[in-house]
Amino acid sequence: MAQIEKWLKEEHILGCSYSGGGGGGSVENSFREQRPPWREFDISFFERDLGGSGTSPPTSPESDFPDVEDKAEPQCPPGLRQYETMVVLRPDMSEDERLAFTQKYEELLVGGGAMYVEVLNRGVIPLAYGIRKKNKAGESNTYLDGIYLLFTYFTKPESMSILGETLLADDNVIRLSSFKIRKRKSF
């Protein structure tokens, strides 16, 4: 225990002088004097936020916005599973072309037995690396950005292959990835 206290004193945690150095004697630490002095802890600074000073705490700006979790998530119908499909589209598509694409694939999903189809447009996002894609005419393009669309839906597992094949054959699609969503069990 004495060794720990000695070390703390030498490191200026318990005291402001140390022994040592090349001279062999006790040397006052000039660096310690240059640092600002330690201040006493003042609880009054925090009391105003805790309501101790009689004033009400300020409202947070986040309280004005509705929570995302307020939205009720639909239950999975029997025989269907929940999936997400992330589609990266050509960045040079117009808004009308993107809306037509979204509507076309929403109708394809509903026609295949999907329910609760939601589409989230994430906008134009730079890709991590350039993607070279050939279209049906044989022209090759390298894309550095893409329009990200996220489809969330409930469908039969059999209809996923049809959706994947149709999306891959579309010239507007650069990349796609589909995932089965599994709910974690809460203990």
How much is the mean pLDDT over the chain?
76
**41: confidence class by pLDDT, cuts 50, 70, 90:** low
CA distance 135 to 113: 29
pLDDT of residue 67: 54
**Burial (CB count within 10 angstroms: exposed 0-12, middle 13-18, buried 19+), residue 105:** buried
**74: confidence class by pLDDT, cuts 50, 70, 90:** confident
Please determine, for residue 30, whether its predicted confidence score (pLDDT) is greater than 50: no
pLDDT of residue 183: 77
| Entry pTM | 0.58
Which of the following CATH numbers is that of domain 72-180: 3.40.50.620, 3.40.50.1820, 3.40.50.150, 3.30.70.60? 3.30.70.60
User: Which sequence spans correspond to the domains of the chain?
Assistant: 1-67, 72-180
- Residue 160: phi and psi, rounded to 5, are -70, -35
Say what angle helices 95-111 and 159-169 make with each other, to 10 degrees: 160
pLDDT of residue 143: 92
